Amino acid sequence: MKKDCNPLRFVPYVLGLMLFVGTAFCQLIWQKHYGAGDPSKGNSVQQTTDEGYIVVGYATPTGGYGAQVYLIKTDSLGDTLWTRTHGGAGDEYGNSVQQTTDEGYIIAGTTSSFGNSFQVFLIKTDSLGDTLWTRTYGGAGDEYGNSVQQTTDGGYIIAGSAQFMTAWLVYLIKTDAYGNGGIEEHPYSLHLSYTPHTAAFPNPFSSFTTVIGYENKHFILYDISGKKVGSCFGHRIGFGLPAGIYFLIPEDKSFNPIRVVKVE
């Protein structure tokens, strides 16, 4: 079979902070290295509307500072047009980048600069990589942002992972155009293996239910879609809720979710 050696069929790859561009089947066209000798890594690359490339990862500057998000814009030959770093006092890692409809960029990653754990880190930049706004998402555990896409309504969808007790689960966040989280489908609510030794009674229920032995414990309440619908103590739960399946998550995450069912 004859191989297609059309030199216009480019496929970009990134490994560490080396950018490769080659034909789909035949040969390497060029490769570039980026960074000034500091530890650095590239995690995501996309071709931009000007036929160049945008790369995101992280770099650890010399001088004792933590890792920072490292954003690189190149021309079509991989030559650097500009670089930007984004971060605070902790560690920041860029894991995904996409050019947005306004010719700027959206970056998803993780940060430890805003608490005692890692949180999902969302950065919106202009066309030159300068920060327009940043947002963080997460709770008491560690959360990581691994992928981001702009959605048709101008907002963003972020996929990542979150730690729930000893397990790692999918974490999905939908935001508006300014990164405000309208829907945050946290894995605590989607984790369907609930604690069998912690009972809510009655269950199913038509008016309210109580978590036996934990009446004064504080819970976060999620519906079956993973949307947070409220918080409550462990007694007389369910007033004002429509019929459906819900999950009670202890605020201190001391045990697994409790599944409760409200009926008409």
Which token pair is 63? 């001088």
Residue 87 pLDDT class (50, 70, 90 cuts): confident
The segment with the largest mean pLDDT, out of 20-24, 71-75, 84-88, is: 71-75
Among the ranges given (49-58, 92-101, 214-223), the one the predictor scored with the smallest mean pLDDT: 214-223
Residue by residue, DSSP assigns 37-96 as SS-EEEEEEEE-TTS-EEEEEEE--SSS---EEEEEEE-TT--EEEEEEE--SS-EEEEE
Residue 9 pLDDT class (50, 70, 90 cuts): very low
Per-residue pLDDT reduced to its tens digit, 30-39: 888 887 656 8
Per-residue pLDDT reduced to its tens digit, 152-193: 999 999 999 987 656 677 888 888 899 987 555 554 444 433
Sorted by where each begins, the domain ranges of the chain are 10-185, 200-262
Per-residue pLDDT reduced to its tens digit, 193-247: 334 445 788 989 999 999 988 899 999 998 876 778 889 999 999 888 999 888 8
Angle at 213 between CA 209 and CA 217, to 5 degrees: 80
Per-residue pLDDT reduced to its tens digit, 98-109: 999 999 999 999
Residue 165: predicted pLDDT? 59
Question: What's the chain's average pLDDT?
Answer: 82
Cα–Cα dist 174/155, whole Å: 7
**What stretch of H or E contains 187?**
helix 187-190
More confident residue, 47 or 256: 47
Q: 10-185: what fold?
A: Neuraminidase (2.120.10)
Residue 29: predicted pLDDT? 85
Supply the pTM of this predicted model: 0.66
Residue 16 has pLDDT above 90, yes or no: no
Among the ranges given (80-84, 121-125, 190-194), the one the predictor scored with the smallest mean pLDDT: 190-194
State the DSSP code for 242. Answer: P
More confident residue, 42 or 166: 42
Cα–Cα dist 161/141, whole Å: 11
| Distance from chain centroid for Cα 6 | 37
